Structure 1
Amino acid sequence: MGLEQILTLLTTVACGFLLLLQVQGQDSASPIRTTHTGQIQGSLIHKKGLDVGVHSFLGIPFAKPPVGSLRFVPPEPPEPWSGVRNGTSYPAMCLQDITAMNMQALKLLKMTLPPIPMSEDCLYLNIYTPDHAHEGSNLPVMVWIHGGALVIGMASLYDGSMLAAMEDVVVVTIQYRLGILGFFSTGDQHARGNWGYLDQVAALRWVQQNIAHFGGNPDRVTIFGESAGGTSVSSHVVSPMSKGLFHGAIMESGVALMSSLISKSSEVVYRVVANLSGCEQVDSEALVNCLRDKSEEEIMAINKPMSLQAFKIIPGIVDGIFLPRHPKELLASADFQFVPSIIGVNNDEYGWIIPSSMSTTDSQKEIDRQTIKAILQRRAAQMMWPPEFSDLLMEEYMGNNEDPQLLQGQFKEMMEDFMFVIPALQVAHFQRFHAPVYFYEFQHRPNFFKDSKPSDVKADHGDEILFIFRSFWGGTQVDLTEEEELLSRMMMKYWANFARHGNPNSKGLPTWPMFDHDEQYLQLDIQPAVGRALKARRLQFWTKTLPQKIQELKEVKGSHGEFNSHPKTPPPHDKTGETEFAHQEEEEEEEEEEEEEEEEEEEDDDTICGSANCKLKQHSMASQSQGYQSNMKLNPLCEKLTATACGLLLLLFQIQGQDSARPIRTTHTGQVQGSLVHVKGTDVGVHTFLGIPFAKPPLGLLRFAPPEPPEPWSGVRDGTSHPAMCLQKADKINGLVMALLNLTPPSISMSEDCLYLSIYSPAHAHEGSNLPVMVWIHGGALVVGMASLYDGSILAATEDVVVVTIQYRLGVLGFFSTGDQHARGNWGYLDQVAALRWVQQNIAHFGGNPDRVTIFGESAGATSVSSHVVSPMSQGLFHGAIMESGVALLPDLISNTSEVMYKIVANLSRCEQVDSESLVNCLRGKSEEEILAINKAFRTIHGVVDGDFLPRHPQELLASVDFQPVTSIIGVNNDEFGWLLSTGMNISDTMKEMDRETLQDHLRNLSVQLMLPPEFGDLLMEEYMEDTKDPQTLQAQFLEMMADTTFVIPALQTAHFQCSHAPVYFYEFQHRPNFFKDIKPPHVKADHADELPFVFGSFCGNKIDLTEEEEMLNKMMMKYWANFARNGNPNGDGLFYWPVFDQEQQYLQLDLQPGMGRALKDHRFQFWTKTLPQKIQELKSAKNKHTEL
């Protein structure tokens, strides 16, 4: 490649960057913001001890008032208003009975609630934003959803000003319809229900449309809530209606699996409302019309808890729209949004506030063994469970205790486990396989409640809230001890970090590990600590032991007739816990009858499940989701648990142990037999399956066409030898291996029939292992490369992951385009998509988790990875991306037009046809040798904006946030043009003969060709060459310039685009491998691709000799990469902390002694993205002005 061609690459980047100017300025004490529906004026708040003021905007309408005909219907967009709306006073709270809240305020704070009016017209939100924020600030947004059992609560109880000021975030607090008005359902089209949830969706849509005007980033929205607010957040995670409206979720003491807050049927609520309303109509439409005519006072009478014990809590409903299925089913089938989450509980959830609001604290003081057992026996009888059910619970929680105080404590623990802890842990288990989950247990008893709550109460329900908001009950400041101040600052920082990056960790904070297979969680206390497997024995009891024993007892009962130990008279009525379950009883009995009828209908085709003789559909064998049973029933006090017991037995009958040396796996198209590889230095064997077809051979009419699914085969396919590489100049790879390793490369055949992949899986892995999957896309400028150069066995064995290496069409066969429908191009990228689809369909058979796929690649392979991030065709096929020395913004690897390529291929092919269809037909008739002859003209080849795989240029897609916000690792080496590329392009030899004047002349000539001012070359010379004339210095500076324009600046730009929407981890690899010391010149540092041996533990398929220090670097990098594949976060125990790339631009310096850097090449980045484009624009403008004169 000549120098002018090289410099063309450089200017492609320079011309592509635009200067962004932002208008800065300070708001007044009465700030005004413009929303889509009108202007609103807020106020300036100064917080004691803080230099940052906060602008508050209160009572902004996000929907029309839900009154009259809008009662019991989805919210509608708000009406526009003229003039400036006053946003300085709190909005009216939604209709509710605030007696309980006032009583709690009196007990806890010796005060009553502020006098806030109450109205059905209540769909408003409040915004708290730092006073420096303006449109373009792009601060993270935190949307708070209040709790209150879906029957009480208001946005104005939660003052977001401290959180906004201290953590530089925008806080939004929202309101939603409550009680009957929020959740009444007829179960049909006349009133589907979930109005309160739909209000929350409307508020989130309003945030997407308007929050940028308040300084917030609509692409970095975190929803958080507590109790029923946490349940709401969790419900949005599983609801298709909320997709894309938020990017992180925090669930405090509430999830969507809390049985009392979700129901499959609305019949119980319907009957009670119909009876209490005085509406005599019998059909649902008439009832809804009658209820719409009721006054607020009449609605309140129905709502009032003392008139109806069941409505102390009112559930949401499976309505087919907001909740298409029960959240448990959606989670089990991975039909939810894969967003990072914080999930947590307090260590005394049933300590005081809940039992006192349920009026059960007094009765608990007098509780004895017989009363508790009577309560549980009554429940067992209602649920048609064996009476021994109560004995199991008594044995687990009460033991042999007779002491009333101990019994009270154990009863409270049982209630909190059932209501909060077990559901939270289950949701964490479901979600952790698809996105990062951070779990906590809050353990601190607030000092200021010492005189309000009994001394035995620890961290009660809701106690963590004041440490997050630094206020309580409507902005009331509370006195914290010095230690509590630190706890509050720590928690606010964790929450805000998570909102900012999807990861709560940062420098100076105790590390909060992800909740993964180790089940680590953070114990939030004055002295925080890391715990492991929270309440593991209780979780085992509720999800395995109890359901299994109930099932066994039921079967014994079925074999020997009715138990004669049923109580002949109902146990005494209790006040201790029955109100918690009352509203579910009738519904559950009816569901039970329906389920029994369904079981009878299915008897003919059901499968017997082990010795338990329980019935389960055959397909449920495959639905044991992510190692956590998809049929798991969460709460034995509210649902039948036979499916759980059956599912667990199925797991016991799975084939365990070590596969043979000739493992066979079944794919969708046939069986394949692999081989067993022993990895030196590990005890883990690896099963390799080589050359599995993921598409039909792209021959004949399939040349220059999208790949088609592979044909099924009969018998067992041999998967023990490497597949043929795709057509390419093999001498380039051979020369590389010879030069670097002094080895003759293995003789691998070459063929156009090359769409195969290879799999490396730990030998212990089997279907159901759900190991993370890492799909490698090789580099080679899109013209050379093959899967077989990369041996995934060491990575698979060392890190317990499944590694997949894929091949794709290269050169002209992979990327030729006519620019129209006859050959759109990007065939190689479409091959990669086909391989990823194959992985989704088949990788579970090899022990991999299709919901935890990370794609990674280097150079053009990384450009491919980056292209999949922006391509709509790849959406949902992967969940993390690693880009090593390549992104989709690399100059000359993506083009808006195929015209140049088209002309070259047409000329070289000797096809005389002039139209594109004829040319494609002619090329399809060429032999492989003739295609290879055309290929030789291309040192690199580019993808094209085809309208399908790439609907627009990647830079446009990234800038407009039209891409998949997946967690990413992006990185470069610190000497990308050190030797490998410069040697391959003959740059080194060219530069040896070039002086300063010759180089300057080349740059000036290039300026003319690109229609840029001639000073363009001078600007580059000034930035990189300065005044030097020394040939060696000139060469070094020129190579740095090439590395910057080709790799570093595009990588940094991509990181900047993506980091506002998903966590990005950036690195610079800095180590010069010792095994290249005699091959590459001594001045070369970490050259292009030098990191690969440390990721795979081998190079070009060969094991290499590493020094002892390099062995440690190798293990560290494999651990980072595998942690990222496993959790979406590279950090882990014993590793140097890798921070996220955010506004501080921190990155990891990967070396024998790793370090942390900040703002990599910031001066160069400013030059390429601001200084150079700005000066070019100024020169162009001056030239145009002079021409006009």
Structure 2
Amino acid sequence: MKRNRRWVRSLLAVTAAGVLAGSAGVAQAATGDGSGAVVRTDSGPVRGTVAPEYRTFQKVPFAAPPTGELRWRSPQPSRPWSEPRDATKPSSPCAQAYSGDPRPTDEDCLYLNVTTPRSAGHGRPKPVMVWLHGGGNSYGTAADFDAQRLATRGDVVVVTTNYRQGVFGFLAHPGLAGSGAFGLEDQQAALRWVRRNAAAFGGDPGNVTLFGESGGAFDVCAQLTAPGARGLFHRAIAQSGSCATTWPANGIVYGQPASSPWLSLARSEANGVAFAGRFGCADPATAAACLRRVPAAELAKDPETSGLTTVAFGTRVLPENPPDALRQGRFHRVPVMWGTTRDEGRLSAAYSPQPFTEEQYQRMLGEAFGEQASRVAARYPSSAYGSPALAWSAVATNRVWSCPQLTDDRLLAGRTPVYTYEFADRNAPQGYFRFPPDLPSGAFHFSEVPYLFDVVGFAAKFTPEQQRLADRMIGYWTRFAATGDPNGRDLPKWSPFRNSNAQSLAPGDGGIRPVDLAAEHDCGFWATLR
């Protein structure tokens, strides 16, 4: 159970110059003690923690608690305060169907964290990077991502934000007005907070990068096509999650059916009606009020909602299915950095039933591909990969992650600058993940994140070459945030995306180099199975 908990937690990312100029003066630094520990936001002052090289401000409200009658409503403004608010401790995770003990059930969770270099607020405003954590829109919390390395080495202001998870953020029901994407609205509310308050922390509200991993990367895609996010960010980075992603049965998490990050409003509402019925809230006239009376702990432990959470499209927040919007060119024209890890599927294989036998491999191929299973089995025989688990890992990596990534890259590159990467350190630290002895972890899903953040509980121990890679990745990410181009002094050249090229990121001499994604991940074959 603990291993599955860790796996699930990881998986699962209209402005004008006058508006920015008008908002920049709303929040001001208030540093009476000279340390920079107190900053005045547009709602009131916050007192953070000052370290020799950086400052952190935690549990800063960006919206009112979505509790009581505000459950399943758009985020509302937070209540102002006058005395400095303690911003030295993290907020609770948002209520979620987390399988641990105790289960997070706190709905008062719409808070964000700000990390700045000590120099922020002196001289030129710094680029701002807003992080959407992973967890499939079902699990996770902003507090797990310590951004001090990214902020200090990259000279940027980093904001990590909570947003409502699972049924609390993404339940759709015909009795709940505007439902299906409240979690995306939370993210937009956090971005509007950044626009109003970035200057007070030494950040540039006119230079904001939205970035996220896994479920957070899917949300970056959603915001790229969401009308309400227009002008709220100026660059986008998606790590291990593309608009075109779909998965067959068992493709991401063992036991999960075929799906995608997106579901039509009609289907989402049908699921919501069934959900309400399980809590005795079947009457359409009273379902909303009935559901709001159900304790968060009961909602969170519903067994039918403990997997990956889809986002409804066809709503006011997300009018179009994101992959369709990309194909039609209806997305915000900002530079993008899109990427995956070299061995995304290793994690799903590790958390499938063990030992991973040939019989299991063939059964999973049948469940995933039906009549096409024999073609996939012939293309990916266990004998060619060393074990059934490694063969399935290659199938999942290529079909679910790498080739859909390439689809996005090609659609985006015709209209905006695109830089594509593949994280390829096959000896990356495993942290709290556990892999069977016969399944090397490789560059598994999530393995690049500790190179950017210090992840709570992960305990990454880098070799000198891995530390150099981490420093270079921070250089690439923050140069992109500053300029829309990851290239910079002392960094190996990274060419813009053209057809199928990516920047491979691995330690050692020659570890950073161009790679052909289509050839490496057999995308020609997978295109024939669509």
Give the TM-score normalised by structure 2.
0.85
Aligned-pair CA distance for 1:546: 2.3
Shift, 1:363, TM fit: 5.8
Aligned to 2:26: none
Aligned partner of 1:396 in structure 2 is 379
Structure 2 unaligned regions, length at least 5:
1-28, 247-259
Conserved 8 A contact 2:235-2:334: yes
Q: Indicate how the Cα distance of structure 1 residues 205 and 25 shifts in structure 2: closer, same or farther if over 3 A, else same.
A: closer
Equivalent-residue separation in structure 2 for 1:477 and 1:29 (angstroms): 30
For residues 1160-1175 of structure 1, the aligned pairs below 5 Å read: none
Aligned mates of 2:384, 2:119 — CA distance in 1:
59
Indicate the residue corresponding to 1:42 in structure 2.
Answer: 48
Distance 2:98 2:121 in 1: 37
Distance in 1, Cα, partners of 2:263 & 2:161: 24
* 1:423 pairs with one of 404, 413, 418: 404
Match in the other structure for 1:65: 65
Conservation of the 8 A alpha-carbon contact between 1:142 and 1:222:
yes
Deviation at 1:235, TM superposition (A): 1.1
Match of 2:343 among 348, 353, 360: 348
Q: Highest Rg: 1 or 2?
A: 1
Residue 120 of structure 2, aligned match among 98, 122, 133 = 133
- CA deviations on 1:247-270 (whole Å, 9 max, x unpaired) are 101100012332332111314522
- Tell whether 2:90 aligns with 1:79: no
Counterpart of 1:362 in structure 2 is 354
Whether 1:375 aligns to 2:362 is no
Maintained 8 Å contact 1:241/1:322? yes
Residue 446 (structure 2) aligns with: 462
Cα-to-partner distance string for 1:926-960 (whole Å, 9 max, x where unaligned): xxxxxxxxxxxxxxxxxxxxxxxxxxxxxxxxxxx
**In 1, are the aligned partners of 2:98 and 2:139 still within 8 Å (CA)?**
yes
Equivalence for 2:423: 442
Equivalent residue for 2:514, pick from 515, 530, 544: 530
Deviations 1:60-119 (A, max 9, x none): 10001001111111101111112111111101110124436x8xxxxxxxxxxxx99751
CA contact (8 A) 1:65 1:123 kept: yes
Which letter maps to 2:230? K
Residue 169 (1) aligns with residue 156 (2): yes
For 2:255, the equivalent position in structure 1 comes to none
| 1:24–1:89 Cα change, 3 Å | closer
**1:92 equivalent in structure 2:** 92
Contact 2:452 2:473 in 1 (8 A): yes
1:254 pairs with 2:241: yes
Report the counterpart of residue 497 of structure 1 in structure 2. Answer: 479
Please, which runs of 5 or more residues in structure 1 have no aligned partner?
A: 1-22, 47-52, 103-114, 381-386, 548-1189
The residue matched to 2:282 in structure 1 has which SS? coil
In 1, Cα distance between equivalents of 2:383 and 2:490: 48
CA contact (8 A) 1:94 1:178 kept: yes
* Identity fraction in percent: 31
Separation of aligned partners in 2, 1:441 and 1:220: 25
Determine helix, strand or coil for the equivalent of 1:424: helix
1:977-1056 matches, cutoff 5 A: none
Question: Is the Cα contact below 8 Å between 2:180 and 2:315 reproduced in 1?
Answer: no
How far apart are the structure 2 equivalents of 1:71 and 1:178? Answer: 12
* Residue 366 of structure 1: how far off its partner (Å): 5.4
Could you tell me how far apart the structure 2 residues matched to 1:402 and 1:528 are? 30
Q: Closer, same or farther in 2 for the Cα pair 1:373/1:87, shift >3 Å?
A: closer
After the TM superposition, which residues 686-1085 of structure 1 pair with which residues of structure 2 at under 5 Å, given as runs?
none
Equivalent of residue 209 in structure 1, options 196, 214, 219: 196
Deviation at 1:26, TM superposition (A): 10
1:231-246 mapped onto 2 (5 Å cutoff): 231-246=218-233
Residue 27 and residue 361 in structure 1: after superposition, are their counterparts in 2 closer, same or farther (change >3 A)?
A: farther
Q: Which is richer in helix?
A: 1
TM-superposed CA distance for 1:138, in Å, is 1.1
Question: Contact between 1:62 and 1:202, CA under 8 Å: does it hold in 2?
Answer: yes
Offset, 1:191:
4.7
Aligned counterpart in structure 1 of residue 493 of structure 2, from 508, 511, 517: 511
* Residue 412 in structure 1 maps to residue 410 in structure 2: no
Contact conserved, 2:37 with 2:47, CA < 8 A, in 1?
yes
Report the equivalent of 2:24: none
* 2:140 aligned to which of 135, 153, 158: 153
Indicate how the Cα distance of structure 1 residues 331 and 216 shifts in structure 2: closer, same or farther if over 3 A, else same: same
Q: Hey, what's the Cα distance between the residues in 2 that align with 1:492 and 1:40?
A: 28
Q: What is the SS of the residue equivalent to 2:452?
A: helix
- C-alpha spacing 1:410/1:280, structure 2 compared with 1 (3 Å): same
Partner SS, residue 128 of structure 1: strand
CA–CA distance in structure 2, aligned partners of residues 63 and 473 of structure 1? 25
Partner secondary structure for residue 442 of structure 2: coil
The 2-side partners of 1:422 and 1:404 are apart by 19
Cα distance between partner residues in 2 of 1:403 and 1:531:
22
Does residue 542 of structure 1 match 2:489?
A: no
> Separation in 2 of the partners of 1:135 and 1:196?
34
Q: Which secondary structure does the structure 2 equivalent of 1:120 belong to?
A: coil
Question: In the alignment, what sits opposite 1:483?
Answer: 465
TM-score for both structures, normalised by structure 1 = 0.39
When residues 373 and 58 of structure 1 are mapped into structure 2, their CA distance, relative to the original with a 3 A threshold, is closer
Instruction: State the partner residue of 1:290.
Output: 290
Cα RMSD (Å) of the superposition? 2.7
Aligned counterparts of 1:448 and 1:347: Cα–Cα separation in 2: 14
Report the secondary structure of 1:546's partner residue. coil
Q: CA deviation at 1:30?
A: 6.1
Structure-1 separation of matches of 2:399 and 2:306: 19
Whether contact under 8 Å (2:175, 2:287) holds in the other structure is no
Aligned to 1:761: none
Match of 1:1080? none
Specify the alignment match of 1:273 in structure 2.
275
Shift of 1:479: 2.5
Deviations, residues 228-262 of structure 1 (Å, cap 9, x unaligned) = 01111111111111010001011000123323321
For the 8 Å contact 2:133–2:141, the answer to whether it is kept is yes
Give the Cα–Cα distance (whole angstroms) in 1 for the partners of residues 328 and 184 of structure 2.
22
CA contact (8 A) 2:95 2:104 kept: no
Q: Is the 8 A contact 2:125 2:203 kept in 1?
A: yes
Counterpart residue identity of residue 269, structure 1 = N
Mapped partners of 1:536, 1:86: distance in 2: 50
**CA drift at 1:57:** 0.6
* Residue in 2 that maps onto 1:326: 321
Secondary structure of 2:146's counterpart equals coil
SS in 2 for 1:73: coil
Asked if the contact 2:97/2:306 (under 8 Å) is kept, the reply is: no
Structure 1 residue 538: Cα displacement: 2.7
- Say whether the 8 Å CA contact 2:172–2:272 is kept in structure 1: yes
Alignment partner of 1:31 is 2:37 = yes
Q: Which has the higher contact order (CA 8 A, sep 6+)?
A: 2
1:59, distance to aligned residue in structure 2 (A) = 0.4
Query: 2:169 & 2:420 partners in 1: Cα distance?
Result: 30
Q: Map 1:584-623; keep pairs closer than 5 Å.
A: none
Q: Corresponding residue for 1:121? A: 108
For 1:478, what is the secondary structure of its paired residue? coil
Displacement of 1:426 after TM fit?
1.0
Q: CA deviation at 1:408?
A: 2.5
- Answer whether contact 1:56 1:127 (CA < 8 A) is retained: yes
Task: Give distance in 2, aligned partners of 1:191 and 1:273.
Answer: 17
- Give the Å deviation of 1:273: 0.9
Q: Following the alignment from structure 2 to structure 1, what is the Cα–Cα distance between the partners of residues 107 and 327? A: 37
Query: Measured at CA, do residues 189 and 299 of structure 1 come closer, stay the same or move farther in structure 2, by a change above 3 Å?
Result: closer
On the 8 A contact 2:58/2:112 being kept in 1, the answer is yes
Q: 1:444 to 1:26 in 2, by over 3 A?
A: farther
Deviations 1:392-441 (A, max 9, x none): 3333333xx56895332222221222321122111111111111111111
Q: Following the alignment from structure 2 to structure 1, what is the Cα–Cα distance between the partners of residues 486 and 476?
A: 4
